[in-house]
Amino acid sequence: MLRKLTLLTLTATLIVLACVPAAAQYGHPLKGSWSGDWGTTKETRNRLLLDLNWDGKAVTGTINPGPNAVPLQKTSLDPSNWTVHFEAEGKDASGRAVRYVIDGKLENLGAYNRVLSGTWNQGTQKGDFRLVRN
């Protein structure tokens, strides 16, 4: 009976230990697709999709992947407080060059649906943004 109980306890422990790494395999906290919006006021909002990747050394990504995608050209991450800085150059709907400067902070770090929010500068427009990881 004791041997059966010990075997059962050992099996249960191994199952729990096997599940722990699976729950922790979300990857780098910034990696993934992030959706939300940015705008100059609460009433004026623009839908936004940010696709981020981590290659083991640096964060790379794209603003609004698709035919009008804007690749991030400069990225930095401060893991001591989980703040980010992104810069990119793209074109607006009329074909004019637009510079993007994005500064944000990662929140809810332990959750799958993390939040990235902060300030968004697109050309001469300045506003805020809020994204949730999909």
- Model confidence over 35-60: pLDDT tens digits? 999 999 999 999 999 999 998 889 99
Q: Which residue has the tokens 């981590």?
A: 54
Is pLDDT above 90 for 117? Answer: yes
Find out whether 131 and 48 touch, Cβ atoms under 8 Å. yes
Cα Rg of the chain, angstroms: 21
CA gap 43, 119 in Å, rounded: 16
Above 60 in pLDDT, residue 9?
no
Residues 113, 29 contacting (CB under 8 angstroms): no
List, for residues 68-99, the tens digit of each pLDDT value: 899 999 999 999 999 999 999 998 778 899 99
For 32-133, CATH gives 2.40.128
* H or E element at residue 71: strand 70-78
Spacing of C-alpha 27 from chain mean position:
11
What is the bridge-based pairing of β-strands 45-54 and 59-63?
antiparallel
**Spatial separation of the C-alpha atoms in residues 116 and 97, rounded to whole Å:** 26
Q: Read off the DSSP letter of residue 113.
A: S
Q: Per the structure block, which two tokens stand in for 16?
A: 């729990």
Class of residue 34 by CB neighbours under 10 A (exposed 0-12, middle 13-18, buried 19+): buried
